[in-house]
Amino acid sequence: MGMLSASRDVLCCGWLEQAGVPAAALFRSLSDPTRLAILRHLTLGEHKVVDLVAHLGVAQSTVSKHLSCLRECGLVQFRAAGRASLYSLAVPEQLTELLAAAERLLCVTGDAVELCPAYGSRAPAAEGGAR
């Protein structure tokens, strides 16, 4: 299905009108760099928390907090493996497609998103201010 066709289907189904709040919640759940890094690592397969800590170079409590958020949003799942938990993407195909689409969009927009005064890296929230 082409991009234009997919866009028409989305518009015809009323998804944009009906899913505004859930879509905003989805994108908010993806808005943290640590959560995005976790999702990227999980596109490669299951990981233990300790492995994610080593890959990301952040505290175990930080990884656990973000995994909890992603799990509550239905984006990741876990299974027990002895004393450890193995985390994986709950919907791997869709999340991989979404992350790839985001990368393509960033390639097209260049530095515009990064330099955006409201949401870029120099925005007040990115500098430690509250939004």
Specify the 3-state DSSP secondary structure of 111. Answer: coil
Predicted TM-score (pTM) of the model is 0.76
Helix (H) or strand (E) holding 49: helix 49-56
Name the domain count of the chain.
Answer: 3
Q: Do 109 and 67 sit in the same domain of this protein? A: no
* Same domain membership, residue 81 and residue 40: yes
Same domain (yes/no): 96, 85: no
- 84 lies in the same domain as 119: no
| Statement: residue 17 has pLDDT above 70 | no
Give bridge partners of residue 79 from the DSSP assignment.
86
Q: Output the average pLDDT for the chain.
A: 84
Q: Which domain range does residue 10 map to?
A: 1-30
Instruction: For residues 26 and 42, state if they share a domain.
Output: no
Same domain membership, residue 111 and residue 84: no
Write the pLDDT tens digit of every residue in 49-85. 999 999 999 999 999 999 999 999 999 999 999 999 9
What are phi and psi for residue 125, nearest 5 degrees?
A: -65, -35
CA distance 86 to 42: 10
118 and 97, same structural domain? Answer: yes
Long-range pairs, 42-46, Cβ under 8 A, ≥24: 42/76, 42/87, 42/88, 42/89, 43/89, 43/92, 43/95, 43/96, 43/99, 45/88, 46/86, 46/87, 46/88
Q: Are strands 84-89 and 76-81 parallel, antiparallel or unpaired?
A: antiparallel
Do both 45 and 74 map to the same domain? yes
